[in-house]
């Protein structure tokens, strides 16, 4: 199953408490909470390029399944992480104490980030 495509954010849960927990300033949280983000994923075998555009902010990450790569977090911090593939539709990684799971089902991508007992969930649909 290929992740390649463009996806528009449909809904999100726990945006504000999660962004506070990772240290995003209140002003950025308020600006970002109502913006519809567009995620563009290009998959070439085990290589991925992910670009998330939210308003004027663009977050780009490139990684290869099973290899360590530098990833930029939502707060702009850069960390090293290894992304693993579970089955043929789930990307899983640990980023600085957070677990990130991206699951593709048909034309819907569900991205869940967990930090302690706080879970931030985003659902995006292919456009």
| Cα torsion 122, 14, 97, 61: sign | positive
Nearest in space to 114 (alpha carbons), one of 91, 87, 94, 89: 94
- Look at the chain and report how many structural domains it folds into: 1
> In which domain, by residue range, is 120 found?
5-126
Domain of residue 46, CATH code: 2.40.128.20
Residue 106: the pLDDT is 95
DSSP string, 47-97: EEEEEEEETTEEEEEEEETTSEEEEE-TTS-EEEEE-EEETTTEEEEEETT
Using one digit for the tens of pLDDT, what is the confidence trace for 40-87? 999 999 999 999 998 888 999 999 999 999 999 877 889 999 999 999
């Amino acid at each position: 199953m290929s992740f390649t495509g463009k996806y528009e954010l449909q809904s999100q849960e726990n945006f504000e408490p999660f962004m506070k927990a990772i240290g995003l300033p209140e002003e950025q949280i308020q600006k970002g909470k109502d913006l519809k983000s567009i995620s563009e994923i290009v998959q070439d075998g085990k290589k991925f390029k992910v670009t998330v555009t939210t308003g004027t902010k663009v977050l780009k990450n490139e990684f290869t399944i099973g290899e360590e790569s530098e990833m930029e977090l939502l707060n702009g911090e850069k960390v090293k992480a290894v992304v693993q593939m579970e089955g043929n539709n789930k990307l899983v990684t640990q980023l600085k104490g957070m677990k990130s799971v991206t699951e593709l089902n048909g034309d819907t991508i569900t991205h869940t980030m967990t930090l302690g007992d706080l879970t931030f969930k985003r659902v995006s649909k292919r456009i």
